[in-house]
Amino acid sequence: MTVRRSDTGTVILDGVCAVEDAEPLLQMLQATPAAVVDWTQCRQLHTAVLQVIMASGVAPIGPCGDVWVKQWLAPELPQKEAGG
């Protein structure tokens, strides 16, 4: 699964997160709005998935694994340092 929940409840984005990952991600965030989102493993982020992250206001654990997103988008979004 590209979007999954770890044992500790962290929502993990892994690999190529495609458009259809937006819905499961949204459902997880609706269920636990305070969940930690980890996108360090995400190689490619679809706009729809990013939109869910933006709309939920969560600050993902960075840096984002998608290098383009890391360079151009991360500075615009609230974000936590990895391990922080």
Partner 1 sequence: MSALEEQFVTEARELIRQATDHLIALERDGTPERVDSVFRAFHTLKGSAGVVELPAMSIMLHAAEDLLDSVRHGSLGASAEIVDAALGCLDQVTRWVDDFEAAGALPSRAGEDGRAMAERLRSFLPGRTSEQSVLPAPNLLKEGGRGPLPEWVSRLIAAERDAMTSRMPDGPMVATAVSYEPLAGCFYNGDDPLQLMQQLPDLLAFHIEPREPFVPLAEIDPYACNLRLRAISAANRDEIASIFRLVPDQIQIISIPPEALPAAEKLIAPGDQSLVRKVIEAQCELLRVPGRTDGLTGCVGAAARVAENALRHGRHLHLADTVGRAGALALAQHDAGPLLSALERTLAAFASSLSTMVPDGDGRPSTTVTSERPTDRVLRVSEAKIEALVNLAGELVVARNALSYSTRQVDLGREVARSIQRDRDAIDRLVTELHGTVLQLRMVPVAQLFGSFPRLVRDVARQLHKKVALVTHGETAEVDKTIMDRLFEPMVHLVRNAVDHGVEDPEQRRAAGKSEAATISIAATRSGDRLLVEVTDDGRGIDPAVVRRMASEKLILSPDELTALTDEEVVDLVFAAGFSTASSVSDISGRGIGMDVVRTAIEQIGGRVSLESKVGIGTTVRLDLPTTIAMSRIMVVEAGGQSFGIAMDSVSETVRVTPERVSTFKNNDGFVLRDRIVPIISLAELMKLPVHKRDTAQSRLLVVMETAGRSAAFEIDAIRDRLDVVLKPMQGLLAGARGYAGTTLLGNGQVLLVLDVKEILP
Q: Which tokens hold the place of 16? A: 């190529």
Q: Which tokens hold the place of 54? A: 């933006």
45 makes contact with partner 1 (CB under 8 A): yes
Contact between 59 and 29 (Cβ < 8 Å) = no
Q: Which of 6, 10, 30, 41 binds partner 1 (CB under 8 A)?
A: 30
> Cα(32)–Cα(9) distance, rounded to whole angstroms?
9
Q: Which of 13, 22, 37, 61 binds partner 1 (CB under 8 A)?
A: 22
Binding site for partner 1 (CB under 8 A): 16, 18-20, 22-23, 25-26, 29-30, 33, 45-48, 50-52, 54-56, 68-69, 72-73, 76
